[in-house]
Amino acid sequence: MRITCVGGGPAGLYFAVLAKLADPSREITVLERDPAGVTYGWGVVFWDDLLDDLFRYDPVSAARIWDAAHKWDEYEVRAAGKPVTHLGGYGFSLGRHRLLEILGERARELGVEIRYSDELTDPAQLPPADLTVACDGAGSRLRDQHAEHFGAQVETGRNKYIWLGTPHVFRTFTFGFERTEAGWIWFHAYPFTDRASTFIVECTPETWAGLGLDRMDSAAGNARLQQIFARHLDGAPLDDAGRGWLNFRRVTAERWDHGTVVLMGDAAHTTHFAIGSGTKLAMQDAMALADAIALSPLALPAALEQYEHRRKVALAPLQRAAYASSAWFERMPEYAELPARRFSYALSNRRGEYPAWRYLLHMTTQSAVPRTMLRWTLSARRWHRARRRPARHLTAAVP
């Protein structure tokens, strides 16, 4: 079987690794437009669920990712004019460059051919293959060529954002909100090595234009942001790696396959960075496609349909969460006047997932008196329920 992956991002490289591992006789080529070692962006975050999957599918690359990953504990919320608050949770982060280096190295070890600096400009010139994986990112040329067939839609988010890096090492995942003369502007920052952090800045288009960021070149814009966020950066510079300010593009596609071409990762669906899951989902797409072609090697259309169905079901809840989360940030100025703890609760519940008791719990975690009252209430409820609930062995005996 000959497979071509167009795009050497996390989706394309990881799929190449898994497809080759499953059957070393496959001829697999990855076309990547950037030179080796060059990519966009900074560190990305992920959680245990991805690590578990990675160790199940390829323990070798998983161990390298684990070794390279940076662990952070809790979220810190710094909003101008309010005391700093802390939210529970932990996660991992890794530079996108390092992730692609690990995956590229693993793919080459297994015999995958990676052609760097090889941009597919005309889809008619695709090398002949039994399966072509369009994993060429949110702006996928292969998807756009058959946009009508794929039922592809691209919605543009309202807020402006810029993906920056800084040598300032944040202690943990940090949200910082600053009030300027033109409105609120904020960052999502986290360390991804002992020497650098990701620093994503976001604001409404009104604030962006009001601060003059729409008229500044990269150096002047970064200097302005450094000034606005000076108390968080300790004088460290910001670097935008040349991509500039963007609006998030929400990509959806009704169908993911067209003959022997199949969409994967951001080419099929994007997930707002406010929930940090696009890389995970792209790699989980790769796992699902590798499984599908292993199960039905003789019937590619059935395999592709199975892949699409499995992934759409898995994606739906996260995409709803991502949508709610991005909408929260678009309305952020409406929450700005809330007191610190209510503000950080609203931020942590931006996906709209928590029931009311989580709010109560959140509001009580930082002060001793309500915490004790909550403990008493919970033990009283437990005692009351225990008196009403029939003993477990008696319930089990009822047919």
Residues that bind ligand FAD (CB under 6 A): 6-12, 31-34, 39, 41, 44-46, 119-120, 135-137, 141, 163, 200, 265-266, 273, 276-280, 282
**Least distance to ligand FAD from the beta carbon of 26, Å?**
20
**Least distance to ligand FAD from the beta carbon of 33, Å?**
4
Phi, psi of 167 (to 5 degrees): -75, -5
Q: Where are the alpha helices (DSSP H) in the chain?
A: 10-22, 48-57, 59-68, 96-110, 141-145, 147-150, 205-210, 218-228, 230-233, 278-295, 300-330, 332-335, 340-348, 356-364, 368-388, 392-397
CA distance 376 to 373: 5
Hey, what amino acid is at 1? M
* Residue 243 or 309 having the CB closest to ligand FAD: 243
**Least distance to ligand FAD from the beta carbon of 334, Å?**
23
* Residue 31 or 315 having the CB closest to ligand FAD: 31
- Both tokens of 388, joined, read 């009403």
**Least distance to ligand FAD from the beta carbon of 278, Å?**
2
* Residue 11 or 79 having the CB closest to ligand FAD: 11
* Residue 72 or 273 having the CB closest to ligand FAD: 273
**Least distance to ligand FAD from the beta carbon of 361, Å?**
26
How many CB atoms are located within 10 Å of the residue 265 CB?
A: 29
- Both tokens of 334, joined, read 């409406």
* Residue 15 or 343 having the CB closest to ligand FAD: 15
Phi, psi of 349 (to 5 degrees): -100, 25
- The residues, any chain, with a CB within 8 Å of residue 261's CB and separated by 6 or more, are 132, 133, 134, 142, 146
* Residue 82 or 173 having the CB closest to ligand FAD: 173
**Least distance to ligand FAD from the beta carbon of 30, Å?**
9
